[in-house]
Structure 1
């Protein structure tokens, strides 16, 4: 994905999200940062178009979103997914509870999706 300029307001918003991560985002970032997960490079709170992705592996064009229950069947999330997919990304979503209670499965799933770009997210 070629680098695209990010508006200053969007960049500042992403920075504020980095400072105010949810408990689940913070816990997952601890696993992803500094290539800790299977030597895979991740970035957090990454501006992509008009959205800010929770986590992104740009090498495999994979975005990881961590959602609370307010996101169940969300039309906004579907529009977001559609735009991110139009930009070439796959969007992998986990519930907060998945991250907080079963980190091993979350990490195993992330590794599988990074290593096999043919895999498509289930939700």
Structure 2
């Protein structure tokens, strides 16, 4: 089944997403088309600062973008479409290793910021 968002992805991204969306990396899962700061990324992990992208542009890296993610504690994994096609299992092993090694984000408590504001004003 293909949804409308799949049409915006490259073939490499579609292949990788078919696996990332169903695979669990511990309790971490990936979401697609996520905006982080001023950038939109193909896939971002919900529990740790790991971003996964598939890029076929020559050079493939944007130094300013890489610097922004680095300064904000993200690890960006950039794969080429031919690598996704040739060795998807190998790429997933890399993703799994990075997710396991990345620092966990603190759990958010629903309504915590609103409750804190009420306590300060009391």
Same topology, TM > 0.5:
yes
Within 5 Å, which residues of 2 pair with 1:81-120? 81-117=66-102
Q: Is the 8 A contact 1:67 1:96 kept in 2?
A: yes
Query: Match of 2:35, SS?
Result: strand
Query: Match of 2:102, SS?
Result: coil
Unaligned ranges ≥5, structure 1: 1-15, 119-123
Q: Is the 8 A contact 1:84 1:91 kept in 2?
A: yes
Within 5 Å, which residues of 2 pair with 1:1-123? 19-34=7-22, 36-39=23-26, 40-68=28-56, 70-72=57-59, 74=61, 77-117=62-102
Q: 1:91 to 1:110 in 2, by over 3 A?
A: same
Q: 1:73 to 1:54 in 2, by over 3 A?
A: closer
Quick one: distance in 1 between partners of 2:52 and 2:7?
Answer: 18
Query: Match of 1:56, SS?
Result: strand
Q: Is the 8 A contact 1:18 1:44 kept in 2?
A: no
TM-score, structure 2 normalization: 0.72
Quick one: distance in 1 between partners of 2:46 and 2:63?
Answer: 21
RMSD: 2.0
CA drift of 1:24 comes to 0.4
CA drift of 1:17 comes to 6.2
The size of the alignment, in residue pairs, is 99
